[in-house]
Structure 1
């Protein structure tokens, strides 16, 4: 089950990307399943803890039985039969744990599991991704130890139990071997069978790794490299046979930085474009190293070898399945919606008749003013395009600056009467602070009294919880009226 977690996650994401023809409920269920891997891992960790504690109690009882500290039956079973794996009365629980196959492998796989789970904590995964990445590969040690674990045959069952009058003999251990009804019992451990349960997932895992290796070997060409002042790297890449949908993501690997590390990034390009692009913010050693390598490239030089795996599906693919879409991006979390907005622009440009969406609400929350430079030019193009087509009401967008200083406020006050915003250059002025979601949901419900509204978020968990609650609160009890469906990026 553990080995299937990373494999199933990627497989489900691939399946998710190909289920555009299926119902909304089926796709939403897949989105939920993508979040279960962490919960299952923690449940397995809890069960392992209970399992380990139970074994420690059993070892203690085995040692005490060998020393004759319990009743006559346990003493006879320990000394006259091969039921008790503790061979010497002088043995201690510590000696038994570290000198038996089952004990030693149990310690190894428990330590491996502890390191895997603890390194998955958000603070480590976000700030020390390499620690998270490499400790996760301890699953190899875990499964080798797990297969060997049963070879110690600690758990034993009685052989030829039919030759014994068990109900009579258990009360007369002193008569064992002296009367025909009560021969001395013998016990044997069962054949190790863990490999039977591991081999199937292992084959599936190896197939998945082989597929990723094939993707790794496919050449990727740089179309454009842009390093913005806000330490955000934009890569435009080309790969033969690559097909994508809005909101999907890919895994990137740069062998010049690390042969093993693959990092997920949401694509910011539209399916209608002949290339795919990603925006990468400096958030750790790998991303900073990539930016450093590309900054040092001579003018016109080709970038380092880049491998791409994917694309993988996400909930954002469903944005055009809703009559009304509410998009919420936080910081670099705007990336899937950049892809969506670009695709909208192309669809209007080509007068695509398949476009079902009639209204989009876009919210972008940023802490710093220079962050808006990432996609402000895209919004300017969309703003102009919608006005020219007489569809200014199709796209409603609100940009929120959540961090500022007094000098910035003074500058805003001086230039407040300008037609365009001083931060973004857009006609829509920037808001300061955070959205009042209660008011926003009320307004959307008022403007769309009989619509299905898809709410999409790429941002922190705190915002996700708030939006999910608001979706439930503002969905009308009458299914014919306004309904909000919450969708969140899961990778």
Structure 2
């Protein structure tokens, strides 16, 4: 079908080029009609999906990878359905039962129920979860390759397996102390030593085993304690540095304590780390332009070159002039069809504040800096790579627009090349303080007009300058709405913020009626068993509200499939 036609057209183009290269008259070459060129450039499923570098440079490998993705989506589709609020069916069937079985096995071994009390067994059971802990911390893990679960979601498995390992490790330590004290009361010190030696046949001798074990356990509890969300968010820099230091402590004392099973997971992580480091140094070193925008936002742009990514993905960015050791995740706000990669970074922590201050001190509020990055990463739980969805809802709040912006413009560009889409609705909510307090005074540098929103709304919702026909009219495929949630009803403030509702028909005031938006899709004349992809990114309250509507508004005729962008690192 389409693939065969494409190969035929590409062969003709190649053959024509070869004749020209060898000095043959072009009149004898096979001509390629505009229709054939259009067919070669038409949209194809999985066209933006590529394997890791350098495999993405080989067409045969790319085709094999895309076939694997088709097969993987077919396998994983039943298991990613949401049941019991926000739990995925696959997690309920596999992950959480494994966690429960692991905890139960450790407790039974500790109590000696069903098995003889054995300190070595409890130590082995405590070590196994850390294989998953380290493996799940890999950016390019087996979870991603085999099941399509990206790093930002495998980090949940990373945490839970670490919690299980910490609990089982504590039980192992307590059992060591209890078993070591057998005979203390009756037989004195000699029997104490004998009891301890008997209970630790395969461990290092005496005090060395005890010391290395409790240091290892203390390091694990330190990692767990600082990973809880309130602490991690408030003191991220401290969390990050302690995580690295305590990780090294765990690796060293796991070897001393002979908990060598841990090294299986650590080895997987180190291989991934080595690949990412080499890839960043060889392929992903660039000069990027950093520009300060209002509302504490930094725009980063650099040439895409041969780098490939999909709409909605993210990368880890490093600015060596700030720190070679800090890599932070940021959503890509540009679409894969653009020649320039764009990021929009909101100032939230110490690293982003230092970056903002450095750029803000420059005369032009813009500067060029060397960067390293690795990625792309990220995979939506709804399949936007093929024909599964012709109806899409994108809902974002604040800086959460960045991945939705990328997806929206990617869908729009694909639609122009023949992708079958029937309705794409984009909703973006912004608090007015985020805008009003950060609008530049009107001058030539602001580049404002009555047709454009102020720069504090960067990135623009769409490339509307040349695509007005896609946005206007009641029958438009693409519908975008921007909601200002707390703007005072004062015309002077409208003018200050460059707001003109007459010239900006996509602009709304107040909070969006999300339920009405969902019901609008239900009222449309859709065929039975229609699936609508719903993607959201933003504040927790907004994400939770959207997730609830996905459950309550689905019915026998229309099913809303849900994906939320999360960066709980």
Instruction: Please give the range of the TM-score, normalised by the shorter of the 2 chains.
Output: 0.7 to 0.9
Q: How many pairs does the alignment contain?
A: 404
Tell me the equivalent position of 2:468: 384
C-alpha displacement of 1:233: 0.7
* SS of alignment partner, residue 250 of structure 1: strand
Tell me the equivalent position of 2:160: 42
Instruction: For residues 338-371 of structure 1, give each alpha carbon's deviation from its aligned partner in whole angstroms, at most 9, with x where no partner exists.
Output: 11232244345xx301x12221111112223554
> CA separation in 1, counterparts of 2:546 and 2:433?
24
Distance 1:206 1:81, change over 3 A: closer
> CA separation in 1, counterparts of 2:152 and 2:434?
33
C-alpha displacement of 1:304: 2.6
C-alpha displacement of 1:334: 0.5
Tell me the equivalent position of 1:455: 534
Distance 1:370 1:461, change over 3 A: closer
Q: Does 1:472 align with 2:555?
A: no
Tell me the equivalent position of 2:137: 6
Distance 1:381 1:119, change over 3 A: farther
Match of 1:403 among 478, 482, 486: 486
> CA separation in 2, counterparts of 1:234 and 1:446?
40
Match of 2:195 among 83, 89, 94: 83
Tell me the equivalent position of 1:250: 315
CA contact (8 A) 1:448 1:482 kept: no
Tell me the equivalent position of 1:315: 380
C-alpha displacement of 1:269: 0.7
Superposed, 1:95-244 pairs within 5 Å as 100-137=207-244, 138-150=246-258, 194-195=259-260, 197-218=261-282, 220-222=285-287, 224-238=289-303, 240-244=305-309
Distance 1:382 1:242, change over 3 A: same
Aligned alpha-carbon RMSD (Å):
3.5
Distance 1:429 1:76, change over 3 A: closer
Instruction: For residues 100-157 of structure 1, give each alpha carbon's deviation from its aligned partner in whole angstroms, at most 9, with x where no partner exists.
Output: 122212222222222222222223333332122112212221122122224xxxxxxx
Distance 1:59 1:441, change over 3 A: same
C-alpha displacement of 1:265: 0.5
Uncovered stretches (5+) of structure 1, i.e. residues with no partner: 17-25, 69-74, 87-98, 151-193
> CA separation in 2, counterparts of 1:419 and 1:131?
42
Instruction: For residues 440-488 of structure 1, give each alpha carbon's deviation from its aligned partner in whole angstroms, at most 9, with x where no partner exists.
Output: 32222112533310000112343333322321222223xxx21110011
Tell me the equivalent position of 1:484: 560
Match of 1:337 among 398, 404, 428: 404
> CA separation in 2, counterparts of 1:309 and 1:80?
55
* SS of alignment partner, residue 515 of structure 2: helix
* SS of alignment partner, residue 265 of structure 2: helix
Distance 1:65 1:448, change over 3 A: farther
C-alpha displacement of 1:379: 5.8
Q: Does 1:358 align with 2:470?
A: no
Deviation beyond 6 Å, 4+ runs, structure 1? 412-415
Tell me the equivalent position of 1:269: 334
Structure 1 window deviating more from structure 2 (297-306 vs 211-220): it is 297-306
> CA separation in 2, counterparts of 1:240 and 1:393?
33
C-alpha displacement of 1:4: 1.1
Distance 1:221 1:115, change over 3 A: same
Distance 1:49 1:15, change over 3 A: closer
> CA separation in 1, counterparts of 2:366 and 2:536?
37
CA contact (8 A) 1:230 1:370 kept: yes
CA contact (8 A) 1:472 1:484 kept: yes
Distance 1:114 1:462, change over 3 A: farther
Q: Does 1:437 align with 2:479?
A: no
C-alpha displacement of 1:292: 1.6
Q: Does 1:67 align with 2:67?
A: no
Instruction: For residues 386-442 of structure 1, give each alpha carbon's deviation from its aligned partner in whole angstroms, at most 9, with x where no partner exists.
Output: 257x685212223223334xxx22338998xx99428xx621232313x34333322
Distance 1:141 1:82, change over 3 A: same
> CA separation in 2, counterparts of 1:395 and 1:463?
22
CA contact (8 A) 2:397 2:428 kept: yes
CA contact (8 A) 1:252 1:262 kept: yes
CA contact (8 A) 2:522 2:558 kept: yes
> CA separation in 2, counterparts of 1:39 and 1:147?
24
C-alpha displacement of 1:271: 0.8
> CA separation in 2, counterparts of 1:14 and 1:49?
27
> CA separation in 2, counterparts of 1:320 and 1:5?
25
Query: Structure 2 length normalisation: TM-score?
Result: 0.63
Who wins on radius of gyration, i.e. which is larger? 1
> CA separation in 2, counterparts of 1:448 and 1:356?
17
CA contact (8 A) 2:301 2:343 kept: yes
CA contact (8 A) 1:367 1:403 kept: yes
Distance 1:448 1:312, change over 3 A: farther
C-alpha displacement of 1:76: 9.3
